[in-house]
Amino acid sequence: MTQTMLEPVSPSPAPKPEPAPVVEHKRRRTLPSAIGEPMVWLTGGALTICLTMIVLLFTMVIINGTTTFWPRPIERLELLSGEIVLGIETQHEKATRETEDRTLYRVGNRDIGQQSYRWINDSDVVERTTPEDAVMLEREAWGVWLGIPDQILRADPLAEEPEIIAQGSGAYFEAFDELHAQARADRDEVEQLKKKELGRINSKMARARLNVQQAEIDAARDETELYRFSTPVWVGLAFLALGCIGCLIRFKNYGTEMGSPVARQGKLLRASASMVFLALVTALWVGSPWAGSDLTESDIAMMNAQLLEREQVLQEQYDEVLTRIREIEEYDATLRVSVIEPTSDQFAPTSQTLADQHLHMSQIVRQVRPNTMGFGEKLGVYLSRWWEYLSTFPREANTEGGVYPVIMGTVLLTLLLTIVVTPMGVIAALYLREYAKQGLVTSMIRIAVNNLAGVPSIVYGVFGLGFFCYTVGSYVDVGPSESTRMAVGNWWTLLVVSTMVLIGAIATRLWSKPNPGKLPSAMNIALQRFSWLIWAVGVICVVMLVAGTPYFHGMFEARSSSGTPTFGARGLLWASLTLALLTLPVVIVATEEAIAAVPNSMREGSYGCGASKWQTMRRIVLPGALPGICTGAILAMARGAGEVAPLMLVGAVKLNQDLPIDSEAPFLHADRSFMHLGFHIYDLGFQSPDSQAARPLVWTTTLLFLSIVFALNLIAIVLRSKIRSRMAGPTV
Amino acid sequence: MTTMDTPHKNQNSDSGMSRTVAYEPKGIAKTANYKVIDAIRNGEVPEPTVHPSVQAPDAVIDVQNFNLYYNQHAKALFDIRMKVPRGAVTALIGPSGCGKSTLLRSINRMNDLIDGVRVEGEITLNRSPIYAPSVDVIELRKRLGMVFQKPNPFPMSIFENVVYPLRIDGERRKSVLEEACEKSLRAAAIWDEVKDRLKSSALGLSGGQQQRLCIARAIVADPEVLLLDEPCSALDPVATLKIEELINEISERYTVLIVTHNMQQAARVSDYTAFMYLGRLVEYGPTAQIFQKPKLIETEHYVSGRFG
């Protein structure tokens, strides 16, 4: 362009140039591989298949999960053999080589010795009707009872013959609702009394006993081996500890000016003073001449006498409550119902062993009469069944009743694990990204962390059981075991040694950094390599010091000595720690990415304003990375909530009547085992004694599990978007 | 960030030269004798041409025989000697990679953040040394305000952005913060635009407004010198004009050191101009002289766009 413009324009007429021959550009053929259309179809198809499978999964869970509680009609079947069966159709099967067309009926009535589900060939059925007065009783025990109501009885224990309150199904239905509500209210009261009052008295009693037991153990302990300071030595050491504080205050500003030639010495001085102070405090604490039990035998005897008195008082209270319970139960037992099964003409019994006694009214959780119900009534039953499912404890080996403790266990576990894993992961990522020198070691750590995410989760379960439950847990319970407990002399030596090693580690660390503005010298580099080793030795020393102390005998010694470990067994705390470990890589990776994504211009801007590294991190980097950190926490939560395998090892149980959270101090009982939805599904599906009855519940529980995980995630995502919008504001 | 002077860079500017020659057949460049530039390209450190009027004794910043190495092989600044006069706007110009940003960042020691940077020589700020071992970098940076190439408001409210330097000093009194905020927003000529939405996010402002906000943030703590690192290079002409007007206003109260690529900008806003090349100071004098009657032919050609 420029060349042509600069060319002088000559006025003289130039000879007309010959027209340039038209150059035929040979077009190259488009290769078949260049045509992308098949790939569009292929990729689109793959996506469709994935989506279809996901949609199918959710549809199946939702349909099966939501229809479980819908009341279905009771059919009365007359068979060729003359037998009459009441049943609810649950499944129909087309003929195969071995079988004819047949239908699976839920016939209930397990307590009179029949299977609660029964296949009936369609050709065997002579007549099929839906009788209006057929009812399904959902009972506290023994599953459902299908039958035709006959009577309501008042069986006065004094009278020979029971008084008949209602005779015939018409009268029965009229009288049922009111009497049932009354009977259930009484039963609820009994349950409350049993659980709250009796439980409270029981735990008081147990605590009183444990206190005395602990005192006995303390008094009986042979403490001759444990070294304790004499009072003057102790006072002298206390003054030394005060001297350390004085030293810290005196040399607070020593070498703190920038570039001071004694900067390292100052830091070392303060660090050493702190270390010595810590060691002295430990020594003063464990070696205190006033430590240990000074209870004599007569003291113990007195405590035992007090305990007896207390027990007597509590026992009286206990009996009082028990009498009240008996009274209600006796009255309750008088009201009976007679619901007759047509097959054997038998009425519903109180229990399998009391087959000649009519069913208590209060044993009926719910009576459903589906054949005469309108849509509204059915909906009512449906919702009340859902409510029962969500709010009550399981019955009948988990196949009936609710999953309230399971929900609580799952939610608590997930929250605890998130609370533990998020700060841990964020701190680790912060160091790795902002403080650590980027190099081979950090790369290796990063790779290791990423690989940790791929370790099979059951491995974490094994680790959790072995390390948290049995090692750490039993340490908390009864202190170091015989094999790890150190001899007293060794322990004191180790205390001195580890203090010195830590001071040495700090010193090497300080002198491993080059002088300001200078390149690291050979000595610096050598010390740098060395200091890691000393740090490691120091940390190991401190761990040994804590793990092997002969002065610690556990926080729950009395309870453990009676054979019930507190933290030394599977429980909520260890399960959430195990899952926290499992999800740690997720948080670290997400946080690291979020921190790296904070633009450097922000950091520079902050430094330019005179902010220090920590201020920049706290005010700019962390807030900027917060949405990313939240994402990490959400991912960890989702991963942790869905994990079952490790839980089977570290704390999830089939059935637990004690919630891990209740109104008794300390409110959150992290030592208790818990129920978990994932494990519950497994238990229902594969461990249940009545798998046919449990099958619909498997779907419902799956639906519930999905919804809870979804809800937890949703809450976290909403929180994150709130944070994000507050941070970012409108972008132009 | 400035790049280092590698041989590769040298060759690049050589080929640029030859294009310039071809561009103007009768050009001066062909006959011009780039004595200083050639010497620099040969690795020498020629004596800079400094006009006597900038040798004033009252310099805010005094760069004394300053050398900077990014690592053992990459030296970025060569024996810079330069006095920045008080209460004026001084511009640093020069082609990419000439070390002007590096020099600017050496003044508030932002280069400390880069691993392996080593310096020789000294810079003084109001006669106190910057590189002495006793200097607290954090304290030093508080004495200087800095504005960067790209507007970098923090993801917080406008108010919090402006008072950030005070917040990190632990200032909590609301009245003090509000007063300082208004004062510096007015000084940065943005008060009227944002006074009704101080609580809304600073990221919602336009680029020009963001940059003025950054200037407000840089002057809120009353710095001794304001360092501007190509403050208009990411802005459109209208926003650039506003910033330039702002620089003129601010220069009544602050000493300003500005790095710019834009020669017109240097001519418009600055009182003094320093021309740098490959980490060396080439010519330094009053802007009017540098642009109209420079002592070196290289400077004349550079400011008129015929070389560089």
DSSP assignment of A284-339 equals HHHT-TT-S----HHHHHHHHHHHHHHHHHHHHHHHHHHHHHHHHHHHHHHEEEEE
Q: DSSP secondary-structure letter at A358?
A: B
Nearest by CB: B200 against A258, A604, A729: A729
B10 touching A, CB under 8 A? no
Report the first-to-last Cα separation within chain A, whole angstroms.
39
A positions 331-370 inside 8 Å of B (CB)? none
B110 touching A, CB under 8 A? yes
From the list A676, A641, A672, the residue with the least C-alpha distance to A659 is: A672
- Disruptive mutation site among A3, A257, A262, A609 for chain B (greatest number of B CBs within 10 Å): A609
Tokens found for residue B10: 């040298």
- Cβ atoms of residues A349 and A121 within 8 Å: no
Identify the pLDDT of residue A12: 55
A604 touching B, CB under 8 A? yes
Domain with CATH 3.40.50.300 in chain B: 7-143+223-233+251-303, 150-222
* pLDDT digits 0-9 by tens, A97-112: 888 899 999 988 888 8
- Cβ atoms of residues A427 and A697 within 8 Å: no
Identify the pLDDT of residue A14: 58
- Cβ atoms of residues B119 and A517 within 8 Å: yes
A730 touching B, CB under 8 A? yes
* pLDDT digits 0-9 by tens, A303-357: 889 999 999 999 999 999 999 999 998 888 888 888 888 888 888 888 878 878 8
A327 touching B, CB under 8 A? no
**Phi, psi torsion values for A696, nearest 5 degrees:** -60, -35
Using only C-alpha atoms, what is the Rg of chain A? 38
- Cβ atoms of residues B97 and B41 within 8 Å: no
Could A604 and B131 be called an inter-chain contact, meaning their C-beta atoms sit closer than 8 Å?
A: no
Residues of B in contact with A729 (CB under 8 A): 155, 200-204
B264 touching A, CB under 8 A? no
Residues of A in contact with B164 (CB under 8 A): 606, 609, 611, 619
Could B134 and A2 be called an inter-chain contact, meaning their C-beta atoms sit closer than 8 Å?
A: no
Read off the pTM.
0.81
d(CA A25, CA A661): 82
Pairing status of strand B89-93 against strand B272-277? parallel
Q: Which residue has the higher pLDDT, A657 or B240?
A: B240
B146 touching A, CB under 8 A? yes
Tokens found for residue B28: 């001066």
Lowest-confidence region among A16-30, A415-429, A489-503:
A16-30
**Per-residue exposure over A390-413, b if at least 16 CB sit within 10 Å of its own CB, e if not:** eeebbbbbbbbbbbbbbbbbbbbb
Nearest by CB: B133 against A2, A259, A599: A259
Residues of A in contact with B119 (CB under 8 A): 517
Q: How many CB pairs under 8 A join A and B?
A: 107
Identify the pLDDT of residue A641: 86
Residue A727 to chain B, least CA–CA distance (Å):
6
Q: What is the SS3 assignment for B171?
A: coil
Identify the pLDDT of residue A115: 82
* pLDDT digits 0-9 by tens, B79-97: 999 999 988 999 999 998 8
Residues of B in contact with A611 (CB under 8 A): 138, 164-165, 168
Instruction: Report in angstroms the alpha-carbon separations of A454 from A33, A595, A638, A646.
Output: 38, 23, 16, 14
d(CA A320, CA A326): 10
Identify the pLDDT of residue A560: 83
- State chain B's maximal CA–CA distance in angstroms: 68
Pairing status of strand B225-229 against strand B144-147? parallel
Nearest CA in chain A to B146: A608
CA angle A70, A71, A72 (to 5 degrees): 110
Predicted confidence band of residue A518 (pLDDT cuts 50, 70, 90) = low
The DSSP-derived string for A48-84 is HHHHHHHHHHHHHHHHHHHHTTS----EEEEETTS-E
A positions 247-276 inside 8 Å of B (CB)? 257-261
A612 touching B, CB under 8 A? yes
List, in sequence order, every beta strand (DSSP E) within A383-532.
Answer: 394-395, 400-401
Q: Please say if the pLDDT value at position B175 is more than 90.
A: yes
Identify the pLDDT of residue A695: 85
Identify the pLDDT of residue B9: 39
Nearest CA in chain B to A730: B204
B278 touching A, CB under 8 A? no
d(CA B60, CA A263): 30
Could A259 and B135 be called an inter-chain contact, meaning their C-beta atoms sit closer than 8 Å?
A: yes
Residues of A in contact with B123 (CB under 8 A): none
- Cβ atoms of residues A393 and A401 within 8 Å: yes
d(CA B233, CA A96): 81
- Cβ atoms of residues A134 and A121 within 8 Å: no
Mean pLDDT score, A686-705:
86
Residues in a beta bridge with B147: B228
Residue ranges of alpha helices (H) inside chain B are 7-23, 28-31, 35-41, 100-107, 137-142, 158-167, 174-187, 191-194, 207-219, 237-250, 263-269, 287-292, 297-303
Which helix or strand (DSSP H or E) is residue B63 part of?
Answer: strand B59-69
Which helix or strand (DSSP H or E) is residue A583 part of?
Answer: helix A572-597
Residue A273 to chain B, least CA–CA distance (Å):
25
From the list B125, B101, B149, the residue with the least C-alpha distance to B223 is: B125
CA angle A86, A89, A90 (to 5 degrees): 135
- Cβ atoms of residues A331 and A183 within 8 Å: no
d(CA A413, CA A419): 10
**CA dihedral sign, ordered A564, A569, A571, A577:** positive
Residues of B in contact with A731 (CB under 8 A): 203-204
Q: What is the SS3 assignment for B228?
A: strand
**Domain A401-457+569-728 CATH superfamily:** MetI-like (1.10.3720.10)
Pairing status of strand A364-368 against strand B59-69? unpaired
B205 touching A, CB under 8 A? yes
Could A6 and B110 be called an inter-chain contact, meaning their C-beta atoms sit closer than 8 Å?
A: no
Q: Which fold has domain B150-222?
A: Rossmann fold (3.40.50)
* pLDDT digits 0-9 by tens, B23-63: 444 444 445 678 888 888 888 888 888 888 887 678 899 99
Could B165 and A732 be called an inter-chain contact, meaning their C-beta atoms sit closer than 8 Å?
A: no
Tokens found for residue A66: 């939501």
Q: Which fold has domain B7-143+223-233+251-303?
A: Rossmann fold (3.40.50)
Residues of A in contact with B142 (CB under 8 A): 609-610
Identify the pLDDT of residue A574: 94
- Cβ atoms of residues A727 and A625 within 8 Å: no
Nearest by CB: B141 against A261, A608, A728: A608
Q: Specify the residue for token string 């960890």.
A: A636
- Compute the mean pLDDT over every residue in chain A, rounded to the nearest whole number: 87
Nearest by CB: A516 against B133, B145, B218: B133
Q: Which residue has the higher pLDDT, A94 or B133?
A: A94
Residues of B in contact with A255 (CB under 8 A): none
* pLDDT digits 0-9 by tens, A149-179: 988 888 777 677 788 888 888 888 888 989 9
Predicted confidence band of residue A702 (pLDDT cuts 50, 70, 90) = very high
Could A259 and B200 be called an inter-chain contact, meaning their C-beta atoms sit closer than 8 Å?
A: no
Pairing status of strand A335-341 against strand A346-347? antiparallel
Residues of A in contact with B131 (CB under 8 A): 517
**What number is the ipTM of this complex?**
0.86
From the list B259, B257, B288, the residue with the least C-alpha distance to B85 is: B257
Could A619 and B168 be called an inter-chain contact, meaning their C-beta atoms sit closer than 8 Å?
A: yes
Could A609 and B221 be called an inter-chain contact, meaning their C-beta atoms sit closer than 8 Å?
A: yes
| Residue A394 preceded by cis peptide, ω within 30 | no
Q: Please say if the pLDDT value at position B22 is more than 90.
A: no
Which helix or strand (DSSP H or E) is residue A710 part of?
Answer: helix A691-728
- Which percentage of chain A shows pLDDT scores above 70? 95
Pairing status of strand A364-368 against strand A394-395? unpaired
Tokens found for residue A221: 């302990």
From the list A142, A195, A648, the residue with the least C-alpha distance to A395 is: A142
Nearest by CB: A609 against B132, B164, B204: B164
Q: Which residues are within 8 A (CB) of B276 and not within 5 positions of it... i.e. 6 or more apart?
A: B92, B93, B94, B98, B99, B100, B103, B282
Mean pLDDT score, A679-702:
86
Using only C-alpha atoms, what is the Rg of chain B? 20
A213: number of Cβ within 10 Å? 17
* pLDDT digits 0-9 by tens, B232-261: 988 888 889 988 998 998 888 899 999 998
Identify the pLDDT of residue A725: 74
Q: Please say if the pLDDT value at position A6 is more than 70.
A: no
Residues of A in contact with B146 (CB under 8 A): 608
Could A259 and B138 be called an inter-chain contact, meaning their C-beta atoms sit closer than 8 Å?
A: no
Predicted confidence band of residue A588 (pLDDT cuts 50, 70, 90) = very high
